[in-house]
């Protein structure tokens, strides 16, 4: 046995040296969770006592991350190598062959705040600030994120906590400012397939001279998000300065929020919420409002469809959510109006990126087959925005919006916005379709939005842009036996078969009552 | 466009065919979470709309699992290949080159029960049964497990739920039965370093003719579990039939529970609890009792150390936990006694597998340097068991236990048990050590168990068997400046340096008050 300071000094040198590995890009996409792959029999794992799933600190000379360790027992990795997931590679800004050091991270302080929330204590502003900062820096594993999200559902956030969370989410990302007194925005609380009003609303509102810098999301659990639909018409992955140029020139834009970096914590949390199918009121409010505040909005209209298979299902839920949204918006000086609408059936005809784009174009181009429900919803939202934003007097909004849509100014503005974003495209057309027909005659009395969305997703939407569902019958329609209720559209026969299989084993997506 | 049944039929065939991939063992250890690696540009990902982190159904002709998908963009995987983690490979029982099919899994029913718990509803027996069955079958990702565990902490389980959870955890694993009226067991609630009474208690109790089929865990967050310590003395990874043979022959055993398959859900959940540092009363009770019931115990003694840095920190917490343990045990007809003990400082001298084994041997061999506190604790627990199990009358337990330890029968029995388990070994001795000394003279008034355990872990325990800490001063001891408080033991200089670094930046692990 030895016990001298020389041994210690040697140990220090050893451990410094031993903790260096050559970084190797493995090309593995693990989304937000940074992952490092190391040999289980490498010196570092043994010296540091790392196990599979340990959280480890990975450092370059200038950057550091906390990553989840997967141990490798086969030969595809050398002892001297550390394999890194795509997210870890990007976050560290590595080049192939660079060295990284690997060691134990300090315990995450903010996790003790999450535990305290689990046990029923309120989170103060500083706690939420550090939690959100750690989340955006990738310091939370999926397991830890899940615990935070579950805790905020099981111990619902009170107003003060929601305000603090919203603040924290805004502060951690980019924030736009505009040299104008009025900047308007809109948001749909979602859950209603085909409700693609945004492109029409932006075109009308911008044509009337208001500023509307709209960022939209891609689909999370739905067959299409506004960004997915717009992407079939023009580029949406603009960065923040390109977005600014479009808005300065045309007064409005419709871009993907993910590329702009507003409220980045939201993008990370929402992926875990999807897996858990948890969406607490507090987190929904912070998610919606943080994006609007970060975009620099002064006035926002919130479209809240209400129906048995929409996201908001009861008048009580709508009232509670509205109260929370308005109260939190007010504390930020953001003027908000909530428009509740019928959420009992899909809007327009198409469900899926390109199919919805077709409906949007039909409304803007005033085609004879344009879906009236989509047109009316867009006009109603645009009217509220025009009045809120002072473009016209109260009560005149609908008339102004209709005039601008009907005389072609909205369509003209939409084309100019698309040109500014990179050029107008023609949406793709699906290669395969198959109608699902009524098996009995009768009247349509209910449509299950959720399962209809599932059919569209199984057909390939939103990744297969042309895929989805066309709705052929609406509530109250009388249908004969054999008449199409909806048509499945797909890019490949495999996807068509997959969606049809589901539709055939869910024959009550449309409820038809005999006369 | 085509719209005929031939296209559909072709689609069905296509999708059947396209969903087959050749399985490849990647040798990646992801613990309990099954992971599949597929090319992001493979036909299945495109046809099925799979994203990174999608949960996918992977099937062979006879087995199926749900795995988390990581998408691969580099060339280390071919388009026709599916890479599998070690857990996925084992669970599917694959051979290299076998084919698997990959598709969307049905939504997990039991997750809606977890959500319902999040929103404050109680879980009934059937719900907990399906949740636990899905967990053991690997159908929960870490994110989903985390949500369940967090929900059970944020919405504490009531007695009825704890009973149901315990039932579910017992039923899903192996269960031992013994042809005897009395089968005794013990369990330590943990958190107290060096409290390695089990090997001594089992030896005494078995020497007195009682049956004590003891399964122990490895360390989870501590520097050593009983299984880690025993592994320096004999084999502990016996399967259930080998364990039975030892108990039939010697009346007792001390084996690792993980190899025996009792309450396997516990092993999975406990790893997530460790990451979250969450350990709710309900889950603790179900965890402890499910193991005892599955082991076939009729009488159990629970050792509950109480102290400011132990697991149970207040008299109120001890009372609440005791009530819950006794009440749930009773509903299973299991007779339980709780022995609360002083948890203010480490027990014995060693902290770490081999260092603790040395203390255990010293007590059993009645060495002059044997730690008296360890001896007394073991005798006290053995006494309670002997009286509960009817080996002696009430009040005579301590006398009997002392006699059996002092006349060498316990040491004799211990050697026979080790022989039956595979032979007695000599624990390893550390290569490097370094004393941490008092900086001022005074009296030791407090010892931080948690940070002392951290030093032992940084020195390499429990993976480096010889590593850990020797405690050189106890509460109430008067120390001079320069006198050792504890000694760090390590197998390598790097680990010694690492632990010392931590100890030097945490100089108040021992509180020394000047006289």
Domains observed in chain B:
18-103 (2.40.40.20), 109-155 (no CATH), 184-261+291-421 (3.40.1030.10), 432-513 (3.90.1170.30)
Q: Which of A450, A423, A445, A436 is nearest to A483 (CA)?
A: A436
Query: How far apart, in whole angstroms, are the C-alpha atoms of residue B131 and residue B134?
Result: 5
Give Cα B192 to chain centroid, integer Å.
Answer: 15
Smallest CA–CA separation between B259 and chain A, in Å? 18
- In sequence order, the β-bridge partners of residue B212 are B252
Terminus-to-terminus CA distance in chain A, angstroms?
Answer: 94
B297-308 confidence digits (pLDDT tens)? 999 999 999 988
In this complex, do B11 and A492 lie within 8 Å of one another by their Cβ atoms?
Answer: yes
Q: Are B464 and B480 in contact (CB under 8 A)?
A: no
Smallest CA–CA separation between A217 and chain B, in Å? 16
Rounded average pLDDT over B474-489: 96
A80-96 confidence digits (pLDDT tens)? 899 999 999 999 999 98
Smallest CA–CA separation between A508 and chain B, in Å? 18
- In sequence order, the β-bridge partners of residue B312 are B306
Rounded average pLDDT over B483-509: 91
Is residue B386's pLDDT more than 80?
Answer: yes
Is residue B3's pLDDT more than 50?
Answer: no
Which of A118, A122, A486 to probe the B interface (max B CBs under 10 A)?
A: A118
Share of chain B above pLDDT 70, in %: 96
Smallest CA–CA separation between A145 and chain B, in Å? 8
Interface confidence, given as ipTM, is: 0.87
Give Cα A52 to chain centroid, integer Å.
Answer: 31
Average pLDDT, chain A: 92
Q: What is the dihedral of CA A241, A245, A250, A252, to 10 degrees?
A: 10
In this complex, do A150 and B145 lie within 8 Å of one another by their Cβ atoms?
Answer: no
Residues in chain B with CB shorter than 8 Å from the CB of A74 are 25-28
What six digits make up the tokens of A360?
């949007």
- Residue B387 pLDDT class (50, 70, 90 cuts): very high
Q: Are A30 and A138 in contact (CB under 8 A)?
A: no
Strand duo B55-59 + B64-72: pairing: antiparallel
- Residue B25 pLDDT class (50, 70, 90 cuts): very high
Which of B116, B146, B220, B279 to probe the A interface (max A CBs under 10 A)?
A: B146
Lowest pLDDT segment from A16-30, B149-163, B379-393: A16-30
Measure Cα distances from B413 to A258, B245, B420 in Å.
67, 15, 10
Q: H helices of A93-239, where?
A: 109-118, 125-136, 142-154, 159-171, 198-207, 226-231
Query: How far apart, in whole angstroms, are the C-alpha atoms of residue A224 and residue A356?
Result: 9
Is residue B219's pLDDT more than 50?
Answer: yes
Rounded average pLDDT over A47-63: 84
Q: Which of A300, A186, A297, A203 is nearest to A250 (CA)?
A: A203
- Residue A18 pLDDT class (50, 70, 90 cuts): low
Q: What is the dihedral of CA A221, A226, A228, A229, to 10 degrees?
A: 120
Per-residue model confidence (pLDDT) at position A105: 84
Measure Cα distances from A117 to A193, A461, B116, B483 in Å.
35, 38, 19, 43
In this complex, do B153 and A70 lie within 8 Å of one another by their Cβ atoms?
Answer: no
Query: How far apart, in whole angstroms, are the C-alpha atoms of residue B304 and residue B285?
Result: 13
- In sequence order, the β-bridge partners of residue B486 are B436, B471
What six digits make up the tokens of A66?
């906390």
Is residue B205's pLDDT more than 90?
Answer: yes
Instruction: Give Cβ neighbours of residue A276 (< 8 Å, ≥ 6 apart).
Output: A146, A149, A150, B111, B115, B143, B144, B147
Lowest pLDDT segment from A248-252, A419-423, B244-248, B315-319: B315-319
Which of B53, B74, B278 lies at the smallest CB-CB distance from A27? B74
Which of A81, A494, A496, A499 to probe the B interface (max B CBs under 10 A)?
A: A494
Is residue A5's pLDDT more than 70?
Answer: no
Q: Which of B292, B392, B286, B396 is nearest to B335 (CA)?
A: B292
Q: Which helix (H) or strand (E) holds A324?
A: helix A315-331
Q: Are A206 and A413 in contact (CB under 8 A)?
A: yes
Query: How far apart, in whole angstroms, are the C-alpha atoms of residue A491 and residue A469?
Result: 12
Residue scoring higher pLDDT (A258 or B390)? B390
Is residue B338's pLDDT more than 70?
Answer: yes
Lowest pLDDT segment from A20-24, A105-109, B414-418: A105-109
Per-residue model confidence (pLDDT) at position B105: 84
Which of A49, A115, A147 lies at the smallest CB-CB distance from B460? A49
Rounded average pLDDT over A151-167: 97
A478-506 confidence digits (pLDDT tens)? 999 999 999 999 998 888 988 998 899 89
- In sequence order, the β-bridge partners of residue A340 are A304
Per-residue model confidence (pLDDT) at position A435: 97
Rounded average pLDDT over B370-386: 97
- Residue B10 pLDDT class (50, 70, 90 cuts): low
The secondary structure of B114-181 as a DSSP string is HHHHHTTPPP-HHHHHHHHHHHHTT-S-HHHHHHHHHHHHHTTPPHHHHHHHHHHHHHTS-----SSS
Which of A29, A154, A460 lies at the smallest CB-CB distance from B118? A154
- Residue B210 pLDDT class (50, 70, 90 cuts): very high
Rounded average pLDDT over B32-55: 81
Which of B46, B153, B432 lies at the smallest CB-CB distance from A7? B432
SS (H, E, C) B346-368: CCCCEECHHHHHHHHHHHHCCCC
Given the residues B32, B34, B134, B279, the one annotated as active site: B279
Q: Which of A103, A128, A100 is nearest to A113 (CA)?
A: A128
Please report the number of interchain residue pairs, chain A to chain B, with beta-carbon separation below 8 angstroms. 253
What six digits make up the tokens of B59?
């099937």
The secondary structure of B262-301 as a DSSP string is SSHHHHHHHHHHHHHT---HHHHHHHHHHHHHHTT-SEEE
Per-residue model confidence (pLDDT) at position A186: 96
In this complex, do A29 and B52 lie within 8 Å of one another by their Cβ atoms?
Answer: yes
Lowest pLDDT segment from A160-169, A254-263, B404-413, B475-484: A254-263
Tokens 């949007």: give the residue.
Answer: A360
Per-residue model confidence (pLDDT) at position B217: 87
In this complex, do B72 and A28 lie within 8 Å of one another by their Cβ atoms?
Answer: yes
Terminus-to-terminus CA distance in chain B, angstroms?
Answer: 94
A427-440 confidence digits (pLDDT tens)? 999 999 999 999 99
Per-residue model confidence (pLDDT) at position A135: 96
Residue scoring higher pLDDT (B45 or A63)? A63
Is residue A369's pLDDT more than 90?
Answer: yes
Is residue B312's pLDDT more than 70?
Answer: yes
In this complex, do A30 and B14 lie within 8 Å of one another by their Cβ atoms?
Answer: no
Tokens 């192996």: give the residue.
Answer: B174
- In sequence order, the β-bridge partners of residue B469 are B351, B488
In this complex, do B49 and A463 lie within 8 Å of one another by their Cβ atoms?
Answer: yes
Environment class of B17 (CB within 10 Å of its CB; exposed 0-12, middle 13-18, buried 19+): exposed
In this complex, do B493 and A74 lie within 8 Å of one another by their Cβ atoms?
Answer: no
Rounded average pLDDT over B485-504: 91
Return the top range by mean pLDDT from A3-17, B268-282, B355-369.
B355-369
Residues in chain A with CB shorter than 8 Å from the CB of B119 are 153-154
- Residue A145 pLDDT class (50, 70, 90 cuts): very high
Q: Which of A267, A264, A238 is nearest to A252 (CA)?
A: A238
B158-179 confidence digits (pLDDT tens)? 999 999 999 999 999 999 999 9
In this complex, do B70 and A30 lie within 8 Å of one another by their Cβ atoms?
Answer: yes
Smallest CA–CA separation between B222 and chain A, in Å? 12
Per-residue model confidence (pLDDT) at position B273: 87
Is residue A2's pLDDT more than 50?
Answer: no
pTM of the model: 0.88
Is residue B294's pLDDT more than 60?
Answer: yes
Share of chain A above pLDDT 70, in %: 96
Cis status, amide bond into A77, omega within 30 of 0 = no
Environment class of B377 (CB within 10 Å of its CB; exposed 0-12, middle 13-18, buried 19+): buried
Is residue A3's pLDDT more than 80?
Answer: no
B240-272 confidence digits (pLDDT tens)? 999 999 999 999 999 998 889 888 998 899 888
Rounded average pLDDT over A396-406: 98
Query: How far apart, in whole angstroms, are the C-alpha atoms of residue B162 and residue B1?
Result: 59
Residue scoring higher pLDDT (A423 or A51)? A423
Per-residue model confidence (pLDDT) at position B503: 93
- Residue B1 pLDDT class (50, 70, 90 cuts): very low
Query: How far apart, in whole angstroms, are the C-alpha atoms of residue B10 and residue B16?
Result: 10
Which of A27, A146, A494 lies at the smallest CB-CB distance from B11? A494
The catalytic residue positions of A are: 279
Q: How many CB atoms lie within 10 A of CB B397?
A: 23
Query: How far apart, in whole angstroms, are the C-alpha atoms of residue B108 and residue A260?
Result: 35
Q: Which of A487, A482, A477, A244 is nearest to A350 (CA)?
A: A487
Lowest pLDDT segment from A313-317, B72-76, B332-336, B438-442: B72-76
Average pLDDT, chain B: 92
Name the CA radius of gyration of chain A, rounded: 26
Residues in chain A with CB shorter than 8 Å from the CB of B495 are 11, 15, 47
Give Cα A46 to chain centroid, integer Å.
Answer: 41
In this complex, do A47 and B3 lie within 8 Å of one another by their Cβ atoms?
Answer: no
């Amino acid at each position: 046995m030895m016990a001298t300071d020389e041994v210690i000094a040697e140990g220090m040198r050893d451990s410094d040296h031993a903790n260096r590995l050559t970084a190797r890009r493995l090309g593995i996409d693990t989304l937000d969770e940074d992952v490092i792959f190391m040999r289980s029999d490498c010196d570092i794992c043994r010296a540091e006592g790392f196990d599979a799933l340990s959280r480890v600190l990975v450092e370059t000379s200038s950057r550091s991350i906390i990553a989840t360790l997967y141990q490798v027992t086969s030969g595809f990795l050398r002892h001297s190598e550390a394999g890194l997931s795509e997210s870890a590679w990007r976050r560290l800004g590595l080049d192939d062959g660079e060295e990284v050091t690997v060691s134990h991270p300090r315990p995450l302080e903010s996790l003790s705040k999450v535990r305290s929330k689990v046990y029923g204590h309120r989170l103060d502003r500083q706690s939420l600030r550090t939690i959100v900062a750690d989340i955006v820096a990738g310091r939370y594993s999926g397991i830890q994120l899940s615990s935070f999200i579950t805790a905020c559902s099981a111990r619902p956030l009170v107003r003060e906590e929601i305000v603090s969370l919203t603040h924290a989410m805004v502060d951690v990302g980019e924030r736009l400012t505009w040299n104008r007194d009025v900047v308007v925005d809109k948001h749909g609380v979602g859950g209603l397939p085909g409700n693609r009003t945004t492109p029409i609303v932006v075109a009308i509102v911008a044509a009337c001279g208001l500023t509307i810098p709209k960022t939209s999301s891609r689909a999370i659990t739905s067959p299409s998000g506004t960004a997915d639909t717009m992407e079939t018409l023009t580029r949406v992955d603009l960065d923040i300065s390109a977005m600014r140029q479009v808005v300065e020139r045309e007064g409005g834009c419709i871009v993907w929020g993910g590329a702009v970096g507003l409220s980045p914590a939201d993008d990370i949390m929402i992926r875990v919420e999807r897996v858990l199918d948890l969406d607490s009121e507090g987190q929904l409010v912070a998610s919606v409002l943080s994006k609007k505040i970060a975009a620099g909005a002064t006035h926002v209209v919130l479209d809240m469809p209400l129906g048995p298979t929409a996201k908001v299902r009861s008048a009580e839920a709508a009232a509670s959510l509205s109260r929370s949204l308005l109260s939190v918006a007010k504390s930020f000086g953001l003027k908000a109006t909530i428009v509740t609408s019928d959420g009992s059936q899909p809007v327009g005809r198409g469900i899926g990126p390109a199919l919805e784009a077709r409906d949007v174009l039909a409304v803007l181009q005033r085609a004879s087959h344009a879906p009236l429900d989509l047109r009316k919803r867009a006009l109603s939202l645009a009217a509220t925005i025009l009045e809120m934003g002072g473009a016209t007097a109260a009560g005149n909004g609908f008339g102004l919006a209709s005039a601008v849509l009907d005389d072609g100014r909205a369509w003209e503005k939409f084309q100019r916005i698309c040109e500014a974003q990179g050029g107008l495209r023609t949406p793709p057309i699906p290669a395969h379709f198959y109608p699902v027909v009524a098996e009995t005659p009768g009247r349509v009395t209910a449509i299950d939005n959720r399962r209809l969305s599932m059919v569209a997703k199984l057909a390939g939407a939103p990744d297969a842009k042309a895929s989805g569902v066309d709705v052929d019958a609406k509530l109250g329609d009388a249908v004969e036996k054999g008449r199409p209720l909806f048509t499945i559209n797909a890019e490949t026969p495999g996807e068509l078969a997959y969606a049809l299989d589901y539709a055939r084993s869910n024959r009550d997506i449309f409820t038809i009552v005999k006369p």
